[in-house]
Structure 1
Amino acid sequence: MADGEPKSKNADLPVRFVSAIVMIAIAGVAFWLGGWWWASFVAIVAGGVMSEWHRLSSAIAQSLAGKAVWLVAGLAYLMLASLTLVILRWDGTGYWLFALVLSVIGVDVGAYFMGRAIGGPKIAPKISPSKTWAGLFGGVLGAFVALLGAETVSTVLIMQQHGASGSEWAWRTIEGNWLWTLAAGAVIAVVAQAGDFFESWMKRRAGVKDSSNLIPGHGGLFDRTDGLIAVSALFAIIQLVGGVL
């Protein structure tokens, strides 16, 4: 997603807004229902992204072997991300999934507004001309605020159930975990932006603007989930490595 876009590119803002509301509503209902509803939703989205991945990679790879490598890599990448999203909701509360998704949204929002307000040097203009270092910094702050908010609300709710003061435990959460939360926000922001850069690179190599035109005003599913997929895949890898070690 772009850090900040010129006003001329916001002409379709009403369409983008309506599409965003519909996407959030569908995802929200699936998340609320949980179980197989959520798993089915993730599977459908992953299938759509895989279709777009195949479209892009087919335009990039020249040989049959190259296309096969891209296909296997895409399946592994999306499987790691999808399993993470399903498992994190399967625990009944979905707190970690909520925190993960909220942090990626925080990255996008923070990067957009900071990049638009400050601008400045580009990170990799040949891959994604709109991405700036200021936007990345805004993404780190956005993820930090999102994670801190999720932690605080969760702690307050738990402690209130035990008769403790909500404001007291909210402060203790902020005071005790803010440094780790900032570090986690930085990692999430960098990985989410890397996922965005990777998809932008794929589109440039394939010679297309969007991964598809499935979502009015937003492009394709891959366009909307590139950062979340990267962060979710990394989460899965960390869990796998941690289990082995």
Structure 2
Amino acid sequence: MEGAESAQLPAAPTPAPPARSDLPVRVASAVVMLVIAGVALWQGDIVLKVFIALVALGVFAEYTALAAKIAPDPARMVTAVVTGAVYIGWAGLALSVMPRIMLVGVLGLVICTDTGAYFTGRALGGPKIAPSISPSKTWSGLVGGMLAAAVWTSLYALSFGYLLSGLSPMGPSLIEAVRTTHLGTAALVGAGLAVAAQVGDFYESWLKRRAGVKDSGRLIPGHGGLFDRVDGLLPVAIIAGTAWAAAGGAGGA
């Protein structure tokens, strides 16, 4: 009987193979993106403007695809497309006309915001900001992103001030750079723009949640679409570029 009973026992389930990490793909894609963007920045002028225009067109295409899944009728689809054209077009224009030194500062700020928010949120956790829109975003992550952006803008402004101090007869001076650079203002600007970057991130997450998709596209292996990569950059570009133009800025540097 023992043998008969043991023969009728169900076989143990085969353990599922461990999920493959997409980290190598993500890293490789990130390196390729950085190289392409770096070459465009290095070339500047028409190459940089064409690159920004192509990215903006790609983002607009992904935005339109999301809107098509959300809009219940043609009238609202037209409204969504016009809204996206203004939002993305404004950001693209701002990026294409601002000086390269400012463009690098804006890109660095958004990267620092995302990095600071990611690691702080994972390390500290805590209450979610809007779990129904983006379940992974926490208040601690927002603060971490703001702090990282504040440090970036302060150091970037200080570096620029140091380079400018080199034009004086006494040569470059860190003390003079600290004295003439408004580090507190730079930090506050960075923290404020970090909030704008997070708002842009939430806006895209809201669109994807309503459209019922995880990513805005599949163009970038391991990263999703272009919109997924620049969601936080768009509002920051609009604010920084518009402020620069309002202050009397002219064509790119």
Q: TM-score, normalised by structure 2?
A: 0.85
Distance of 1:17 and 1:83 partners within structure 2: 29
Q: Secondary structure at the match of 1:67?
A: helix
Match of 1:184 among 185, 189, 199: 189
- Equivalence for 1:217: 222
1:150-182 deviations in Å (ceiling 9; x for gaps)? 111111122124343432234325xx5222122
- Equivalence for 2:121: 115
Contact kept in structure 1, 2:113 and 2:146, CA below 8 Å? yes
- Equivalence for 2:4: none
Task: Tell me how far 1:187 sits from its aligned partner.
Answer: 1.2
Mapping of 1:201-212 within 5 angstroms? 201-212=206-217
The residue type paired with residue 167 of structure 1 is: L
Distance of 2:130 and 2:49 partners within structure 1: 36
The farther-off stretch of 144-153 and 222-231 is 144-153
Identical aligned pairs, as a percentage? 46
Distance of 1:55 and 1:24 partners within structure 2: 26
Distance of 1:83 and 1:26 partners within structure 2: 19
Task: Tell me how far 1:221 sits from its aligned partner.
Answer: 0.2
Contact kept in structure 2, 1:78 and 1:233, CA below 8 Å? no
Does 1:78 find its partner at 2:88? yes
Distance of 1:33 and 1:242 partners within structure 2: 26
The Cα RMSD (Å) is 1.9
The farther-off stretch of 149-158 and 45-54 is 149-158
Mapping of 1:25-36 within 5 angstroms? 25-36=35-46
Match of 2:176 among 163, 169, 179: 169
Distance of 2:34 and 2:107 partners within structure 1: 12
- Equivalence for 2:75: 65
Match of 1:95 among 98, 101, 105: 101
Does 1:144 find its partner at 2:154? no
Contact kept in structure 2, 1:58 and 1:67, CA below 8 Å? yes
Distance of 1:165 and 1:240 partners within structure 2: 29
Match of 1:128 among 121, 126, 134: 134
Q: Secondary structure at the match of 1:235?
A: helix
Change (3 A) 1:32 1:240: closer
Distance of 1:237 and 1:158 partners within structure 2: 24
Mapping of 1:28-47 within 5 angstroms? 28-47=38-57
- Equivalence for 1:15: 25
- Equivalence for 1:199: 204
Q: Look at both structures and tell me which one has the larger radius of gyration over its CA atoms.
A: 2
Distance of 2:33 and 2:50 partners within structure 1: 15
Distance of 1:241 and 1:70 partners within structure 2: 28
Contact kept in structure 2, 1:144 and 1:185, CA below 8 Å? yes
Task: Tell me how far 1:186 sits from its aligned partner.
Answer: 1.9
Contact kept in structure 2, 1:104 and 1:227, CA below 8 Å? yes
The residue type paired with residue 181 of structure 1 is: A
The residue type paired with residue 65 of structure 1 is: A
Q: TM-score, normalised by structure 1?
A: 0.88
Distance of 1:240 and 1:152 partners within structure 2: 22
Task: Tell me how far 1:234 sits from its aligned partner.
Answer: 2.6
The farther-off stretch of 124-133 and 9-18 is 9-18
Does 1:52 find its partner at 2:62? yes
Distance of 2:42 and 2:244 partners within structure 1: 25
Distance of 1:232 and 1:80 partners within structure 2: 8
Instruction: Count residues in correspondence.
Output: 230
